[in-house]
Amino acid sequence: MSYKRYKSECIETVLTNRSNHDIPADESTLYRWIDWFYFYVEYWIHCLVSIKHQTKQDGDDLKVLPETSGTALQRLGRLVGNASGWLARVVRPVVNFYLWVHTRSAFLSGGG
């Protein structure tokens, strides 16, 4: 995911308002962001539910599972809220609990 040059707020804006935003990025970048998000969103939802259980936080987590109503973005919002900064509130606990899926292997050694 090539998002390092953009603030998370920019990505949030595109994800929450795909057709009406003023983010200065080309269409292929926007497509990659959206594709990246929808590829991982169900995984993140399950990670956040698991983290809530591990840390004994209250809440009715069954309302956010795939079988429930609402879009993935709405269900994610039930876990972390939909106010500005929601993407960081998703990423931070997933990373801190070592559940982030790393997709770059450019610097891994080949063994030897």
Please give the model's pTM, rounded to 2 decimal places: 0.79
Q: How many helices, marked H, and strands, marked E, lie in the chain?
A: 4, 0
Q: List the domain boundaries for the chain.
A: 8-96
Give me the pLDDT at residue 1, please: 47
- Any alpha helices (H) in 8-71, and if so which ranges? 8-16, 27-54
Q: What is the pLDDT of the chain when averaged over all its residues?
A: 84
pLDDT > 70 in the chain, percent: 79
Is the distance from CB of 1 to CB of 36 less than 8 angstroms?
Answer: yes
